[in-house]
Amino acid sequence: MADDFGLFDTDTPAPATSQGEEGKTEETPELVYGSAEEFLHEQLLPTYVRSITGKSTKWCIEWYFHPEAVSRVAAMWRAWEHLRLDPATGMSVWWRDHADHHMRVLLDPQGPFYNCDMKEHRDPEHLEPKKAPAGWFPDVRVQDR
């Protein structure tokens, strides 16, 4: 089902090696979690415990049907994997800048789960865009050539 998310499919692992300053190959630290879903179940939700009332907070039991939620959980996972390596302030930065921010948005009653409740998923109504007039947003990839 993750293939259906296209740009929101962020579970693709990072490369295993990288080039250092002197051109030497450096090992990239191994990931603790293999996917955003594993991170959500094993790390995030067991530590981020909140009362979900349905009025002041919302959650969808089938969170993975919400592309914004998938993208935000994946962003939290990737940030956690990176910041866990900073023994001084990494986790503090992760909580302040990532978990608190994204969870506040995800749990907001007007957030991505606005139409759901704890027991039932309901497809969200997507914002309907209208295409801008031709030429308003030129493709910068073409201009850079």
Nearest one of 139, 114, 133 to 125, comparing CA atoms: 114
Asked whether the beta carbons of 78 and 10 are under 8 A apart, the reply is yes
Indicate the average pLDDT of the chain. Answer: 85
pLDDT higher than 80, residue 8:
no
Higher pLDDT, 36 or 118: 36
What is the pLDDT averaged over residues 33-48? Answer: 96
Q: pLDDT tens-digit profile of 79-129?
A: 999 999 999 999 999 999 999 999 999 999 999 999 997 788 988 777 788
User: Contact at 8 Å (CB) between 63 and 73?
Assistant: yes
pLDDT at residue 23 is higher than 90? no
Q: What angle do CA 102, 31, 101 make, to 5 degrees?
A: 10
Note the pLDDT of residue 2: 44
Cβ-count burial 27-56 (b if 16+ within 10 Å, e if not): eeeebebebbbebbeebbeeeeeeeeeeee
Task: Place 130 in a pLDDT band, splitting at 50, 70 and 90.
Answer: confident
